[in-house]
Each structure stands twice: as C-alpha cells, then as structure tokens.
Chain A
Amino acid sequence: DVKVTQSSRYLVKRTGEKVFLECVQDMDHENMFWYRQDPGLGLRLIYFSYDVKMKEKGDIPEGYSVSREKKERFSLILESASTNQTSMYLCASSSTQKQWTGAGDTQYFGPGTRLTVL
C-alpha cells in the first residue's frame, strides 16, 4: 500500500513564527505536492516537485517555500506565519507514468495537517 505521512495532524502557531510541515512517502514516487484546502475554495496547489532539489510554484505560492533534499521527503515552510494561512494542508505523491500507456498519474494523499495561526 502507498503510504504518505505528515509530521503533525494538528498544529497551533503564533503570527510571525516560522513553521515547518513535513511529508514523507514510502513508494519511491518522483512527484510530490503540497496543497491547502479551505471551505468553499477546494484544493489549491501551493508547490510541487518532480525530482530531488527541484521545485515549481503552484497556484498560490506566496508566503510559502519548499525543500526537497531527499526523494521521499518534501517540506513546506511558512517563513512568517499569518492568520490567513490557517488551513488544512495536504501532501500528495505520484509516480509519472509513460504518456504512451494512456495512464494518468494517480496522486496519493497524506492524512493532512490542520494548522491554526493565532
């Protein structure tokens, strides 16, 4: 079974703090993703990575950074937490299938981290 784990289920931080969210997958997937999920807005992509030390901005990267030093680990960093970053954060991973196979890249999600910034 694919397993994606996240470092914390619940986290409470103060405005201005630096926050680290960690994600680890055990399926040797090349691709890893960070999303946030808010009521009425759905899942929004923050950053993603297709290989070690590579990263690309998603739809809402402002206020966030990421790090991928090892293939199995993808970290999301809130440089200076703000109250509008209170949200559910979800990590996902996938393996890139060859396009000619017609197979899409299924993403597998972790359990999520509910972050509250006071």
Chain B
Amino acid sequence: EDQVTQSPEALRLQEGESSSLNCSYTVSGLRGLFWYRQDPGKGPEFLFTLYSAGEEKEKERLKATLTKKESFLHITAPKPEDSATYLCAVQAYLNYGGSQGNLIFGKGTKLSVKP
C-alpha cells in the first residue's frame, strides 16, 4: 500500500538554527513528490515538485532533495516567518495502481521558529 510518513511531527527551532524535515514514502512507482506549506486556517501552498532520485530544488531558505525512499526539506537559517506546517505528498504512476491524479499526503511537520 502506498504511504507517506513525515517526521518529526513538530519541530521547534531558534531563528538561524538550520535543520531538516523528513518525508519517507512507499510507492510502487513514483510519479512525483510534492512539498506544501500550510499556515494556520489556510489552504496548503505549493512549494516544490521532485520527480527523480538525486533531484534538488531551492526556494529562498528552503531546499528539497529526493532519494528512492525519502525526501528532505532543508531549512537554512530559518526566520520566524517560516513557521508553518509543511506537508509532503506523493503521486504514483497509473500502471502501478492508485487513482489517476490522486496525491497521498503525510500528516505534516509543524515547524515553529522562535526569534
């Protein structure tokens, strides 16, 4: 069964203290891995899509990497405005089952950055 596990559930950092969030996945054929940011009371905001192992993408203080079993979201010198819940999701290829277009979401990591 396809599944996504994110760790830790919650992470508290001091401003400037770099760290990483983990997303472990099990899927028969990975079509894409997605990272979203979600602020309290709002809808998830798309950050990155990764397609193949070894791929990396960056946006400001965030860098996402992908291996065959997991993805990391590295946060360099975080600021209080980076506080949010970060969601990871995967999409499987149709030939390996799963519904067309559907994403499987992890439960998220709640990041708090203190000044």
Chain B minimum-CB-distance residue to A10 = B41
| Interface range on chain B (Cβ under 8 Å from partner) | 20 to 34
* Contact B43–A109 (Cβ < 8 Å): yes
Q: A104-B51, A104-B91 are in contact. Are A112 and B31 (CB under 8 A)?
A: no
Residue of B nearest to A35 (CB): B105
Q: Is the CB of B52 closer than 8 A to any CB of chain A?
A: yes
The CA of A100 and the CA of B33, in the complex, are separated in Å by 16
Tell whether, in the assembled complex, residue B99 and residue A104 are in contact, meaning their CB atoms are under 8 Å apart: no
Kindly provide the distance from the CB of A41 to the nearest chain B CB, expressed in whole angstroms.
Answer: 8
Taking CB atoms, residues of chain B closer than 8 Å to A96 are: 100-101
Tell whether, in the assembled complex, residue B43 and residue A110 are in contact, meaning their CB atoms are under 8 Å apart. yes
Q: Chain A residues near B17 (CB, 8 Å)?
A: none
CB neighbours (8 Å) of B46 from chain A are: 106-109
**Among candidates A40, A106, A111, residue contacting B43 with C-beta atoms closer than 8 Å:** A111
Residues of B within 8 A of A (CB): 31-34, 36, 41-46, 49, 51-52, 87, 89, 91, 93-94, 99-103, 105-108
Supply 7 A–B pairs (Cβ within 8 Å), ascending by A.
A40-B107, A43-B87, A88-B41, A104-B91, A105-B103, A108-B46, A112-B41
**Which residues of A approach B to under 8 Å, CB–CB?**
4, 31, 33, 40-43, 45, 48, 50, 56, 58, 88, 90, 92, 94, 96, 99, 102-112, 114
